[in-house]
Structure 1
């Protein structure tokens, strides 16, 4: 069954996901040797050396994602989905894919596992099941995904349980429920608050800079080329990039 990412601790708004400082020097796959290695920007999610993204330096990892999710869940009613990191001074990590373990011998060896015995099934399970997204039939001998927020009259093929906004699979079945549809965390947050085009984080302050459909924290409304503050100054936005006139002219030449 899918998990609902709701009722999370208030510290989420203040939690900094930060840059991966330990990844300094990792080569860029896009620059192919011209980048001297990953150099984290103080607040942008890019490399200071080549301006390419973290993903272009292969910095994304399941372990880092599990730590972030663990921080989100640790003080919520879903804390049983996390495990304490040995020697981590109270840090908890998300137990990735633990919910699919069914072998009682395997689960018994790890005290961080919670085992559940299901003694009840939703009414109508003998009826023909139809996927909520593709409307295709779900064979009785195949797994389906139920969402307790949607009700047991709706189900999805595992591959069809995707974000209504980006159509990407909902990793580990973690979802947010809004407008009668499942959302990934990123787009659910964007439906509630604007996202800063500079640091790529959600803006919680009521005081921020907006230009057309783009938004920035006030302190992040700076030129992507020379980093000068552009509040009250001339600026040019090209393909989503915020530039001062000088840097814009330099890039066109």
Structure 2
């Protein structure tokens, strides 16, 4: 049996089906203790869910007003968009059982009713068909899938297809953010709501920020990485997100 580290997802499958669920994830990403997948999970956890996106005390130099804005931001996403995927067989999620049963009944009574040659109506019961929300491919009835309650239980995903709609990376521990009819990782959801500082990587909750070439900075962080001089209103060079004043750029080029 797999030794899954720190999994927060909800499982509504048997041990055998849980094992099969793990096997549906690429081997190099299976969070098995001591294996590459466990290290991958740890890296993804820090990347997708940085602690400073979740806790104001982990941020540097927040003013009282920024602290308040951030607390409201966190409260809102927890109430409105944050969720944890649920692993279950198709139609067997916690509140999806009745929905799955209704779908099967509808297909059996409406879609498959046929008129027999003697004029009577004969219904040929068929199982409901399920398709993955990402790849649109059919899902076998005996294959574990992932449900996201905020998306509604009429949608489901192959385990390997439960990925961020922005970066296409698998969602660590099935933690998702639901926005614009799609699932997002925490990092990209937060960035879709607020700018992120290219220097410190924290979300910007101040109106006093700077933007350049598609990137954002806290005003205090818009400085040369070599001499730490403020670059606001002065010539600068930007190379892969790294800022450099004209003088330091000239010295480095010599």
Quote how far apart the aligned CAs of 1:174 are: 0.5
Instruction: State whether residues 225 and 247 of structure 1, in contact with CA within 8 Å, keep that contact through their aligned partners in structure 2.
Output: yes
Cα distance in 2, alignment partners of residues 118 and 182 from structure 1: 19
Instruction: State whether residues 161 and 170 of structure 1, in contact with CA within 8 Å, keep that contact through their aligned partners in structure 2.
Output: yes
Number of the residue aligned with 2:151: 150
Number of the residue aligned with 1:215: 216
Quote how far apart the aligned CAs of 1:118 are: 5.7
- CA separation of 1:17 and 1:143: change in aligned 2, threshold 3 A: farther
Unpaired segments ≥5 residues, structure 1: 4-10, 19-41, 43-71, 78-96, 101-116
Instruction: State whether residues 164 and 185 of structure 2, in contact with CA within 8 Å, keep that contact through their aligned partners in structure 1.
Output: yes
Residue correspondence of structure 1 range 3-18 to structure 2 within 5 A: 12=54, 14-16=56-58
Which TM-score applies when normalising by structure 2? Answer: 0.54
Q: 1 or 2, which has the higher helix percentage?
A: 2
Quote how far apart the aligned CAs of 1:153 are: 1.1
Which TM-score applies when normalising by structure 1? Answer: 0.54
RMSD: 3.4
Instruction: State whether residues 146 and 156 of structure 1, in contact with CA within 8 Å, keep that contact through their aligned partners in structure 2.
Output: yes
The size of the alignment, in residue pairs, is 158
Instruction: State whether residues 96 and 153 of structure 2, in contact with CA within 8 Å, keep that contact through their aligned partners in structure 1.
Output: no
Number of the residue aligned with 2:233: 232
SS, match of residue 183 in structure 2: strand
1:121 aligned onto 2:74: no
Instruction: State whether residues 13 and 204 of structure 1, in contact with CA within 8 Å, keep that contact through their aligned partners in structure 2.
Output: no
- CA separation of 1:247 and 1:128: change in aligned 2, threshold 3 A: same
Q: Deviations over 1:131-175 (max 9, x none)?
A: 010111111111111111111111000110100000000101111
- CA separation of 1:177 and 1:220: change in aligned 2, threshold 3 A: same
Residue correspondence of structure 1 range 116-195 to structure 2 within 5 A: 121-124=97-100, 126-195=127-196
Cα distance in 1, alignment partners of residues 229 and 130 from structure 2: 58
Runs of 4+ in 1 over 4 A off after TM superposition: 117-120
Relative CO higher for 1 or 2, CA cutoff 8 Å, sep ≥ 6? 2
1:249 aligned onto 2:250: yes
Cα distance in 2, alignment partners of residues 119 and 222 from structure 1: 52
Larger Rg: 2
Residue correspondence of structure 1 range 44-63 to structure 2 within 5 A: none
Cα distance in 1, alignment partners of residues 253 and 98 from structure 2: 62
